[in-house]
Amino acid sequence: MDHTRPARTGTERTWLADVVVVGARCAGAATAMLLADAGHDVLVVDRASFPSDTVSTHVIARTGMVQLKRWGLLDALHDSGAPRLTTVELDTGGDVIVRTIKDRHGVDHLLAPRRIVLDDLLLDAARRAGARIETGVSVDRVLRDGGGRVVGLQAHDARGGIRVGARHVVGADGLGSRVARSVGAPLILTRPTSGAAVYAYLAGDWSGVEYHVGAGALAGVFPTHGGEACVWICTPEEVARRHQRRGPRDAVLAGLLAELTPSFGDRVSGAVQTSPVRGMLRMPNHFRQAAGPGWALVGDAGYHRDAITGHGISDAFRDAELLAAALDQALRNPAGEAGALRAYGRNRDRLARPIFDITCELATFPEPERFVELQRQLAVAIDDQAGELAARPSRAGAAVA
């Protein structure tokens, strides 16, 4: 069938695909890219237009860097002007620990590209792999057959209604996922929700990644494009809300830094803020059921944790690869679909759980000694996961091995 033009049924258009992915950012674009590489007909829909920004502090951990290298996309990010980050500084208020990022699994640096760059690069890679991209499309609900299996979507755009028929629907539409709500995906694990994160972009001379431990806070610097850095702070939710009530929103970051990490706050107080303050004042920690008959969730739609460990993009890349492999199996062997999707859920939970548990404890803002120990555990968990991901085959459409 020729999918280049949507068929029309009355005033409602009908689109068909093997897989429809709802959400075109990190998780959705990566899933679509890998499935299209495998030869499947993939449609991606998103209500946003691209390139566009989204709330994110956008550092990519070693796990995510390994994925980008295996997918042949790392050089493009270098070419975009994202600076190579080769050192990490941890200031506990009493000691300053500086380490150079070691070459492991073929990665000796980190990147913190702006999302307006990263998301567009991934979406372009999906398009080159053969995925069809439709933006400005809002999803209303999933469609089911008589047996309850999800068989597509009801959606709309500025031109009217759209009916999407698909063998599988993937929700990659973020924390407030409409797909997750529409399929009734239950929460299978929850932890207390207490953290907040706010950030802004500051111009200046930023040499590497920085973390500053404060009294019930963690602040930091992620250098990014254009001689700017994402300067951020994570605090308990009530602390951030108290500062928000005190005055203008764009003063919240400076106020929190001055109160909770004063030496760091003094250092950045003279830097030019080049953006509004953004962030989240409530960050859930939970797992949703990963998949069911005809549907699956990936990225923040299925698994979310506090931003204090900065692992969200890397989580999205990992789960995109796990899901794409499972759906490839299911599409080629429908009789094995249930087993493939159960395996996706088990693998997602197995790989996500160690970093999830560390994240939840870090979000309680322990004493500096415990904080340093948890950071050490986090580094080990990330390295272990990076090793497992590095051992997987590279994507079929990768420019490099």
pLDDT digits (tens, 9 = 90+) for 80-102: 999 999 999 999 988 899 999 99
Residues facing residue 285 across a β-bridge: 191
What CATH number belongs to 7-189+283-390?
3.50.50.60
Contact 368/91 with Cβ under 8 angstroms? no
Tell me the one-letter amino acid at 254: A
CA dihedral for 347, 350, 355, 356, sign (positive or negative): positive
The tokens for 96 are 């300053």
CA dihedral for 326, 332, 334, 339, sign (positive or negative): negative
- Give the pLDDT score at 397: 65
As a whole number of Å, the CA-based R_g of the chain is 21
Model pTM? 0.95
Name the nearest CA neighbour of 68 among 353, 281, 300, 316: 316
Strand, helix or coil at 385?
helix
pLDDT tens track for 103-137: 999 999 999 999 999 999 999 999 999 999 999 99
Contacts of 370 (CB under 8 A, 6+ apart): none
CA distances 268 to 46, 89, 126, 263, Å, are: 37, 16, 39, 9
Q: Span 335-359, mean pLDDT?
A: 98
Q: Are strands 150-157 and 160-171 parallel, antiparallel or unpaired?
A: antiparallel
- Give the pLDDT score at 324: 98
